[in-house]
Amino acid sequence: MNIVVVGTGYVGLVTGVALAHIGHRVTCVDVDKEKVDCLRQGISPIYEPGIEPFMKENMDAGRLFFTTDGASAFREADVIYVAVGTPENEDGFADLTYLKQAVKDIAAAVTKDVIVVTKSTVPIGTNHEMKRMFAELAPHVRIEVVSNPEFLREGSAIHDTFHGDRIVIGADDERAASVVADIHRPFGIPIFHTDIRSAEMIKYASNAFLATKISFINEIANICEKVGADIEQVAAGMGMDARIGSSFLRAGIGYGGSCFPKDTKALAKIAANIDHHFELLKAVIEVNNKQQRKLIEKAKERFGRLAGKRVALLGLSFKPNTDDMREAASLVVARELLAEQATVVAYDPIAMGKAAHVLPKEVIYADRVEQALERADAAMILTEWDEFRQLDLSVYVKQMKTPIIFDGRNCYALDDVKTYAIEYYSIGRKSVK
C-alpha cells in the first residue's frame, strides 16, 4: 500500500511512523518546510518518548518519507490519511480550515481513485461534507471517505498505537472499510466497524466520558477534604468495581491538553446547535475550570495574601512525558499568582522551552528543581513528573524558606510527608501540618 499522511502533528507523525513500521510505504506531508527538514534528519518536532529511534529505523528501512510536495505524494497514493489540526475557534466550535484546505489540495492533485481516511477529530457530518466536496472538486475520480478516529495519548503515543483497545472504522462503502481494516490488521487490535457519523461521535463521546470521570472524581475529592475521607482510598475502592474501572479516577487539578478541553467544548456546541442543552457536559467543563484554580484557593486560605510570596511551580506541561503546554493548569496558576503579585519561579524537566513562549514574561525559570525551591515560601506541584515523585522530601526542607507544599497531583504518600517538617496540602486528602 502506498500511504500518504497529511499533517505531522502528534496524530499524523505517530500514525505515519506506526503504519511504516508494520510494513507500508508511508509519505508524511506537511506545509511547514522547516518541520519537514527536521523530520528528514530524524528530528521529531514533538517530544514523545521513543519516537526518534522509531522514525530513524523506518526511514533507514526505506518505508518512511517526509515531504512538502503534497501534490506529487497525493498522485501516487492509494490511501490518504488526514491528520491536520482542528483547533477550537472563538465560539468553541472545531475550526475546519486546515481540513478543508487538505480536501482541496487532495482533490486538485489526484488522478486515480483513492480512499481518504480522516484521523482528525471532526464534528459529526464533516466526513460527509468532505465527500460532497470531493465529488464536486474531483468528479473525474472516485474518492471514498472513511472516519478512523485516533485515541492515542500524548507521552505514550507509540505504546497506545500498538496496544490500543480498539480501532474504529466508520465507512459507508464496504470496500473502503475493508481496505482500511486490512491496513490496520497487523496491529492485532480489535477492529470496530460502524457508519461514518457514529465513528465521528465515538471520538467525542469517548473524550467527553473520560473528562466526566475526571471531573466527577475531582468533585468527590473536594467533598472528601471536607468530610475527612481520603480520595486515594475512595478511588481505589470504587475502581475495584469492574463496572466503574480504576482508570481516569486520579484526582488532581483537572484535565488539560490538546483534546479534552477542546473536544468537550466542541461537543457541547454541537449539541447546542441542535437545541440540545448538554447540562452534564457543561458542568464537567465548569468543574474543570474551577479545579485548575484549586491550589491558588488553598494557598490564599493558608497565607491570606500572596503578594510578595515566592512560589516555586513544579511541572508546567499539561501532564508528564510531554512538553505540550496546551490548556495546561500552569497557564492559569502562573497568571493568577502574578495577578496576586507573587514571584513565580518555574521548573519543568522538559517543557520550559515551550512554556517560555506561552507563560507570562514575569515568570522566572530555574535550571533544576533545587534551584526553583531555593528560598521559596511555597511550592506548587502541577505535573506529576517522576523527577518530583522521586524527589527526596528533605530537599524541600533544605531549600525552601518555609517548606509548604501544595500538591495538585498527589505525588507523595501522607505517611512519608509526616516524617518531615513539611506543611502539605494535596487534593482530596487530609492536610499535614
Site residues, ligand UDX (CB under 6 A) = 150-154, 207, 210, 214, 248-250, 252, 255-257, 259-260, 318-319
Residues in binding site: 30, 35, 86, 121, 151-154, 203, 248-252, 256, 262, 319, 326
- SS3 assignment, position 406: strand
Task: Indicate the residue among 21 and 250 with the shorter CB distance to ligand UDX.
Answer: 250
Distances (CA, A) of 32 to 158, 208, 358: 23, 31, 21
Cα 386 to Cα 397: distance, rounded to the nearest angstrom: 19
Task: Indicate the residue among 66 and 260 with the shorter CB distance to ligand UDX.
Answer: 260
- Residue 310 β-bridge partners: 343
Cell 465515538 belongs to residue: 202
Cell 518519507 belongs to residue: 65
Shortest CB 72 distance to ligand UDX, Å: 31
**Through-space distance between the first and last CA atoms of the chain, rounded to whole angstroms:** 63
Task: Indicate the residue among 292 and 399 with the shorter CB distance to ligand UDX.
Answer: 292
Shortest CB 257 distance to ligand UDX, Å: 3
Task: Indicate the residue among 105 and 348 with the shorter CB distance to ligand UDX.
Answer: 348
Burial tier of 385 (Cβ tally within 10 Å: 0-12, 13-18, 19+): buried
Shortest CB 217 distance to ligand UDX, Å: 7
Hey, how many other C-beta atoms are within 10 angstroms of the C-beta on 121? 21
Catalytic residue selected from 28, 38, 224, 259: 259
* 38 included as an active-site residue: no
Cα 198 to Cα 125: distance, rounded to the nearest angstrom: 10
Shortest CB 198 distance to ligand UDX, Å: 17
Cα dihedral 43, 44, 50, 56, rounded to 10, equals: -50
The residues annotated with a catalytic role in the active site are 259
